[in-house]
Amino acid sequence: MEFIVLLVVFLPSLFLVEALTKPLFINCGCNSSITVEGRQWVGDSSPGQSFTLSSVGVAAAAAASTIAEDPIYQTARIFNTSTSFDFTVPHGNYFIRLHFRPFDFGSFDANGSSFDLLANDLKLLSKFNAPGEIGWKNARSNSNASSLLKEYSLCVNLTQLRIEFVPELGSFAFVNALELIPAVDELLFPSSSGIETMYRLNVGGREIKPSEDGALWRKWNSDEQFMFSVNAAYNISNTSTVTYSSPINDTAVFAPLLVYETARTMTDNQVVERRFNVSWRFDVDPNFDYLIRLHFSELVYDKPNQRIFRIYINNKTAAENFDVFVRAGGKNKAYHQDYVEAISPKVDSLWVQLGPNSLSSGSGADALLNGVEIFKLSRNGILAHAHPRISAAQGNKIAQKPKNKTLWPAAAAAAAVGLVGIASLLYVGLLHRLKKTPPAKKSPPGSTKNAAAIKSSLSSNKNRVGRRFSVAEIKIATRNFDEELVIGAGGFGKVYRGEINEGVTVAIKRANRQSEQGVREFETEIEMLSKLRHRHLASMIGFCDEQGEMVLVYEYMANGTLRSHLLGGDRPALTWRQRVEACIGAARGLHYLHTGAERAIIHRDVKSTNILLDENFMAKVADFGLSKDGPAVDRTHVSTAVKGSFGYLDPEYFRRQQLTEKSDVYSFGVVLLEVVCARPVIDPSLPREQISLAEWALQQPSAEQIVDQRLKEEEGFSPESVARFVEIAEKCLADEGKRRPTMGEVLWLLENVS
């Protein structure tokens, strides 16, 4: 049962207070001190404080134990008139941190709160609504946070600091906790009147708690959710060996050593070609300047020239020939570098990318980053920027944001469908499998109608076709998910062979409930399959979504995956004719995806394990878990986070972060080579230049060199036919999407291979 304690506190008006020289932690709405993880928080209404509060507020306390997080969130102070906290401080730089954790404030509705916040003359917040801001952030980062921390830093050149809450007429302000931290010296921010911390990340490592950051009590988050493709980078660490390089330029003021002890480098070795940048994307407020502080420490090499790279900020080269070893003056030495970037009024993202110094430098290319901070710099005394309000509940569901309003109407809902977990099939021994998936970074464009339709189908099921199975039926069909019936597994969960209606064999895909990826892919797949019916697309018979089970029932494809007939050995190899026919079938399926629906659909994960063969070896394209609606007619691409499987990934998609149907064409080209060569698309056991099938095959002088031995031995083997087939693959693999054929053209060419 929830209840609320309201007490009106009468504070002593002004009395002389001591100048602040130590960090001050204030727990608002509370009359006693508590100590949490090494910090003592004084109640704002406990006696003898070192600050004054200019007016009586209302203290609110959440019902005991309703707030699971930090105990400082248990209380808040509410102001329905302008109120200031006044501090007497020595001249210097200060961090101001404000904690907002709305709860049931009784007669005040937190959802209706709206206020401005000022620190001396600097405007920090304008018409701020904490629940709406939390919802907005959750929607952008696909999270479900219930609190918000805002951090500012400013230089106080008077002897007084006044933090003033100014409620909008008829509304009110609230705050749960407030921190004021003297920032030791001016090293931290040499020359700016006001700064807001947007991001503070420990790259390649865990979250660092305030209690692990010395006198400044900063929190460093993990960088993973900001990575454009986690798989493009590899995390390394070397603990307890890093030191600060010079007493002046790099000290704990900038970052704790923990930040420097972990890093991301370009994906280790050879599996993924190093022509890919390692990229991070951040949402920022338009029309401000940003200070980007990058933290580095070389953790592996003990001489210069081992890792030389280029840094890009918003597509512009920020540094070339960057050698951390040289700049830091050795191995395991902390070093940081600042950049300033002006963000124009139409831009709301900031990209930090590390790339090879020059494409020709080949295998020597590598890069490294240990930490990143992004600070917004005030403009004309203002730091405030209002985001659209999204309720926290809505935020969780949408898991995306409406992008640029004029270009992307109602895109948020459409994004919920497109937002899917990463399904890259990685070679686990070589690449780190990371548990969390990065969120899709941008919303696809969508017509309002389309977005609304998708949204309603997500929340109701109205658009779902096919039979609805009960959990009991599914359990009978799979003998209670008997492990012996498992015929496949992936990021989404497991696939079972099952029997329904006395003897009809089906494939039953059961989403792993623990995996958010599973849930999203399940929704996407139902959505896609409900829209699509085609002979060459695996068809869905029905689904089951009761009692927390999410199950899809498909027609059973007796001959399994195309890959199992090329490699693996447990199934007979296909003849040349069968291989060509299978490719034609798959091409028909993909052509239909690209052109058959009102809006093109991009499969995004075309590979030989997603092409299934029925009892007559007819091919069908399966697995729409990653699929995405294609660009609207007036646009040529969909911007999105990289999803898909290595070895099949379109390099242009990786480079430009733009998804088109031509990305499927590229992946299909890799499948064609697989069909000819019958070798894995990535084989890490081979010498570097042979690891990637696409790279290797295209460098061979003729098709003769790469063709599967079993085909050569086939009666009536036609080298001409194989050569024509390889030519088609080559066309599909053109570096630039616009030079690749369409799926329709590929189909026509394949039909003429004979």
Ligand X SMILES: *[C@@H]1O[C@H](CO)[C@@H](O)[C@H](O)[C@H]1NC(C)=O
Q: Which residues are annotated as a binding site for ATP?
A: 509
Q: Measured between alpha carbons, how far apart are the two ends of the chain, in Å? A: 75
* Among 109, 320, 704, 720, interactor with ligand X by CB under 6 A: 109
The residue annotated as part of the active site, out of 223, 605, 623, 708, is 605
Signed CA dihedral, 208, 212, 214, 219: sign only: positive
Q: Tell whether residue 193 is a contact of ligand X (CB under 6 A).
A: yes
Closest CA to 282 of 233, 220, 226: 226
- Of the pair 332, 559, the CB lying nearest ligand X is at 332
* Among 331, 509, 565, 637, interactor with ligand X by CB under 6 A: 331
Q: How far apart are CA 146 and CA 135, in angstroms?
A: 8
**Tally of helices (H runs) and strands (E runs) in the chain:** 16, 40
- Of the pair 259, 743, the CB lying nearest ligand X is at 259
Whether 629 is a known active-site residue: answer no
Q: Tell whether residue 102 is a contact of ligand X (CB under 6 A).
A: yes
- Of the pair 111, 718, the CB lying nearest ligand X is at 111
Q: How far apart are CA 175 and CA 109, in angstroms?
A: 14
Least Å distance between CB 16 and ligand X? 22
Classify residue 223 by burial, with Cβ atoms within 10 Å: 0-12, 13-18, 19+.
Answer: buried
User: How many residues line the site for ligand X (CB under 6 A)?
Assistant: 47
Least Å distance between CB 659 and ligand X? 11
Residues 590-649 close enough to bind ligand X by CB under 6 A? 639
Binding segment toward ligand X, per CB under 6 A, in 242-250, 554-562, 704-712, 732-740 = 242-250
- Of the pair 262, 267, the CB lying nearest ligand X is at 262
Radius of gyration of the chain from its Cα atoms, rounded to whole angstroms: 29
* Among 66, 88, 111, 251, interactor with ligand X by CB under 6 A: 111
Binding segment toward ligand X, per CB under 6 A, in 280-288, 621-629, 652-660, 717-725 = 652-660
Q: Tell whether residue 475 is a contact of ligand X (CB under 6 A).
A: no
| CB atoms closer than 10 angstroms to residue 280 | 25
Q: How far is CA 737 from CA 591, 652, 742, in A?
A: 16, 7, 10
Q: How far apart are CA 455 and CA 420, in angstroms?
A: 15
Q: Tell whether residue 515 is a contact of ligand X (CB under 6 A).
A: no
Contacts of 413 (CB under 8 A, 6+ apart): 398, 446, 451, 452, 454, 455, 458
Q: How far apart are CA 727 and CA 222, in angstroms?
A: 45
Binding segment toward ligand X, per CB under 6 A, in 103-111, 467-475, 694-702, 726-734 = 103-111
Q: Tell whether residue 314 is a contact of ligand X (CB under 6 A).
A: yes
The first and second tokens of residue 635, run together, are 């646009």
Residues 449-468 close enough to bind ligand X by CB under 6 A? none
Q: How far apart are CA 554 and CA 675, in angstroms?
A: 25
- Of the pair 144, 456, the CB lying nearest ligand X is at 144
Q: How far apart are CA 49 and CA 26, in angstroms?
A: 9
Least Å distance between CB 459 and ligand X? 15
* Among 19, 393, 407, 465, interactor with ligand X by CB under 6 A: 393
Closest CA to 124 of 54, 196, 189: 196
Q: Tell whether residue 52 is a contact of ligand X (CB under 6 A).
A: no
Q: Widest CA span of the chain, in angstroms?
A: 101
* Among 251, 312, 319, 723, interactor with ligand X by CB under 6 A: 312
Q: How far apart are CA 174 and CA 113, in angstroms?
A: 8
Q: Tell whether residue 300 is a contact of ligand X (CB under 6 A).
A: yes
- Of the pair 123, 432, the CB lying nearest ligand X is at 432
* Among 241, 306, 515, 718, interactor with ligand X by CB under 6 A: 241
- Of the pair 651, 741, the CB lying nearest ligand X is at 651
Q: How far apart are CA 524 and CA 543, in angstroms?
A: 13
Classify residue 576 by burial, with Cβ atoms within 10 Å: 0-12, 13-18, 19+.
Answer: buried
Least Å distance between CB 265 and ligand X? 10
39-43 and 51-53 beta bridge pairing? unpaired
Contacts with ligand X by CB under 6 A lie at 5, 31, 58, 61, 80-81, 102-104, 109-111, 131, 144, 146, 157, 193, 235-238, 241, 246, 248-249, 262, 275-277, 299-300, 312, 314-315, 331-332, 347, 353, 355, 391, 393, 432, 434, 639, 655-657
> Which residues are designated catalytic?
605
